[in-house]
Amino acid sequence: MRPSWAAMKPVTGRNRIVGDGGILALLGALICLSGCHSPPVADSLHRFEFKQPHMGTLFTITLYARGELAARVGVEAAFAKIAALNQIMTDYDPESELMQLGRKPVGEPIRVSNELFDILQKSQRVAELSDGAFDVTIGPVVRQWRRTRRTGNLPSPEALARVREPVGWRKLQLDARQQTVTLTVPDMQLDLGGIAKGYAADQALAVLKAHGLPCALVAASGDIAVGDPPPGKRNWRVAVGKLDGNEDKPARILFLNNAAVSTSGDAEQFFEIGGQRYSHIVDPRTGFGLAERLQVTVIGRRATDTDAFATAASVLGVERGAALLESQSDLAGVFIWKRGKETDVFRSKRAR
Ligand code: ADP
Ligand code: MG
């Protein structure tokens, strides 16, 4: 069985933890929104770090606990939660709940698990707010691009039109009362690759908190969720990678607690055909992988949101993407746009 989505991604993170604590500086206004906690009592807490591969990437959990046993019990439960979510949401395993849903009769409401319903509901909200730039019905087109990446042949206009036919977030209908999902046209395929890692990071953080481990950070490549800060510190320090993947000189350091950050962009996941670079993020309006060299970092309260909104803002580009982030009171974003030899940095209002 193949691993889950983003299988070709190297296990390096675009967002990196660079150490603990520090002063509340960059993006101060936003970070205060997410709660300026007074530092917990430092004394007997020790730092632990654990890594496990999930969802085609490496998850890292960093936390503070009184002892190794408490840390291990919590972390095992958190990783088990991530594995369980992957089993529901991956499109690489034909037996996942998501893939089984795709084989149900068209037009029939299907009752789904709490987690699948929850993430689909959150996905549809971002789809609506972004006017369909974020769209989990993009599955058939993403699969087409995975083939293109393997074969090196661009799809014909007819082939592209065919796979685009069942795409459109309004073709996915949810009924909250019955907790059912209806795929309203044939050949629909859902793809949660643009939101699942953030969702898993949030859920893992919640599991750690329930185990009495609130001072924790969960990182899944470009998606990071942080809880209470390290003992004696006011924040976690997170380095946001550069557009070209060079992490020696990170673009910026963020100071965060009880918050999340996601970076979407073409630094890691791209391929070239005929000298043109294509991202694994697809523009639902054209069916093409993004060709712009744009890296978007979104900061917010929940990694589920930052993950999905970072993907959406990548599709929308600087102007409309920034407007989308500004429409949400708890989001801020930084856009790094490379055009030829020029690299420009744009910030949404709350990131200034
Ligand atoms: P990463 O996986 O590198 O963190 P993203 O969070 O932006 O990047 O997710 C990219 C993945 O999202 C793609 O691999 C694909 O599975 C899915 N996807 C691609 N385009 C879209 C889109 N327009 N809306 C929603 N999901 C998308
Ligand atoms: Mg995303």
Q: Are strands 110-111 and 223-226 parallel, antiparallel or unpaired?
A: unpaired
Mean pLDDT of the chain: 87
Degrees, nearest 5: CA angle 144-150-154:
55
Cα–Cα distance for residue pair 279/257, rounded to 1 Å: 31
In angstroms, the Cα distances linking 229 to 50, 61, 77, 310 are 17, 14, 21, 24
For ligand 1, pick from 138, 149, 261 the residue to mutate: most ligand atoms within 8 Å of CB. 138
Q: Does pLDDT of 118 surpass 90?
A: yes
- Per residue in 42-60, pLDDT tens? 568 999 999 999 999 999 9
pLDDT at residue 170 in the model: 98
Cα of 231 vs its chain's centroid, Å: 27
pLDDT at residue 21 in the model: 35
Higher pLDDT, 6 or 228: 228
Q: pTM for the full model?
A: 0.89
Residue positions counted in the chain: 352
**Domains of the chain, first to last:** 97-183 (1.10.3980.10)
Q: Distance from the CA of 43 to the center of ligand 2, in angstroms?
A: 37
For ligand 1, pick from 89, 167, 280 the residue to mutate: most ligand atoms within 8 Å of CB. 280
Cα–Cα distance for residue pair 43/45, rounded to 1 Å: 6
**pLDDT band per the 50, 70, 90 thresholds, residue 82:** very high
Ligand that lies nearest to the alpha carbon of residue 278, given by its number in the listed order: 1
Q: Distance from the CA of 213 to the center of ligand 1, in angstroms?
A: 30
Q: Distance from the CA of 194 to the center of ligand 1, in angstroms?
A: 4
For ligand 1, pick from 99, 126, 191, 221 the residue to mutate: most ligand atoms within 8 Å of CB. 191
pLDDT at residue 340 in the model: 85
As a whole number, mean pLDDT of residues 121-129 equals 98
As a whole number, mean pLDDT of residues 327-331 equals 97
* Max avg pLDDT among 16-20, 37-41, 150-154, 301-305: 301-305
Higher pLDDT, 1 or 30: 30
pLDDT at residue 2 in the model: 33
**pLDDT band per the 50, 70, 90 thresholds, residue 128:** very high
Q: Does pLDDT of 127 surpass 90?
A: yes
- Per residue in 196-235, pLDDT tens? 999 999 999 999 999 999 999 999 989 999 999 999 999 9
Q: Does pLDDT of 137 surpass 70?
A: yes
